Amino acid sequence: MKLKFNEVGFIFDLDGVIVDTAVLHYKAWRRLANSLGFDFSEVRNEELKGVGRMDSLDKILSWGGITMTQEQKLQAAERKNEWYGELITHLGPKDALPGAINFLEKCADKGIAIALGSASKNAMPVLNSLEITDYFDIIVDGHSTTKNKPDPEVFLKGASGLNLVPSLCAVFEDAAVGIEAACLAGMTAIGIGKKENLPKANQVYCCLAEANMDTILDLIALNHM
């Protein structure tokens, strides 16, 4: 089966695929941890990749041996988000990962339907800072989902918003839980990062600058058969 580009959809995670805000999240979470009297390393911060805000907070509190009520947790998460929000205001197009904006431009030129599928509740301000909001036909973020990856909800909503069946969509993800979510959704999983970290991906590229659209189209066709 030979597919055309205008028959498929690409669904992009945000952090680690289009822009790397992991260091900004780390700075904000670390500031929160420090305010509670403990610290954690950038290496340990890797455990938070692809994890939602409240689940991340639970992990961090467990590292510090801190117990909070639900109300206190909500207040702490809001403080972290305010600090993170201050940091992302300094982002600009120059902060996009290699080839990311060019790849979105090529998608638009070829008529590929484009969705964002991110757990982040800060996706819109990040997209606006990068000046790339208009590339996306639909944006599914932490405000419109109730389940965290590896649950496929975010990607299934993206496909639905693009009016496409899941098998006609490719997901671009940098986290193992995101790749798992794409597979559970019945979509083609394109890993962005290191192959050894994303063993379940159908194809892995170091960044979007290296991604081959024709190869991805062929993979979607195989998945759709």
161 lies in the same domain as 75: no
pLDDT for residue 22: 80
pLDDT for residue 42: 87
- Give every CB contact of residue 218 below 8 A, 6+ residues apart in sequence: none
Q: Is 13 a catalytic residue?
A: yes
Mean pLDDT on 136-158: 95
DSSP, collapsed to helix, strand or coil, labels residue 120 as coil
pLDDT for residue 53: 86
**Does the pTM exceed 0.75?**
yes
pLDDT for residue 23: 84
Alpha-carbon gap, residue 84 to 29, rounded angstroms: 8
Query: Do residues 93 and 101 lie in contact, with contact meaning Cβ atoms separated by under 8 Å?
Result: yes
Of 38, 65, 88, which residue is a domain's last?
A: 88
pLDDT for residue 134: 97
pLDDT for residue 59: 96
pLDDT for residue 119: 86
Domain extent, residue 45, equals 22-88
- What percent of the chain shows pLDDT beyond 70? 100
13 lies in the same domain as 29: no
- Give every CB contact of residue 39 below 8 A, 6+ residues apart in sequence: 30, 33
**Per-residue pLDDT for 47 more than 90?**
no
Instruction: Give me the catalytic one of 15, 109, 141, 151.
Output: 15
pLDDT tens-place string over residues 184-219: 999 999 999 999 999 999 999 999 999 999 999 999
**Per-residue pLDDT for 115 more than 80?**
yes
Closest alpha carbon to 19 in 147, 138, 145, 118: 118
pLDDT for residue 91: 93
Cα distances (Å, whole numbers) of residue 115 to 8, 108, 179, 197: 11, 12, 16, 24
pLDDT for residue 21: 85
Q: Which CATH number covers residue 187?
A: 3.40.50.1000
175 lies in the same domain as 208: yes
The verdict on whether omega for the bond into residue 98 sits within 30 degrees of 0, i.e. cis, is: no
Total number of domains constituting the chain: 2
* Average pLDDT taken over every residue of the chain: 95
14 lies in the same domain as 61: no
76 lies in the same domain as 179: no
Closest alpha carbon to 58 in 46, 73, 72, 43: 73
Alpha-carbon gap, residue 89 to 129, rounded angstroms: 7
Residues 49-83 as b or e (16 or more Cβ within 10 Å = b)? bbbbbeebbebbbeeeebeeeeeebeebbeebbeb
Instruction: Give me the catalytic one of 13, 20, 39, 95.
Output: 13
**Per-residue pLDDT for 49 more than 90?**
no
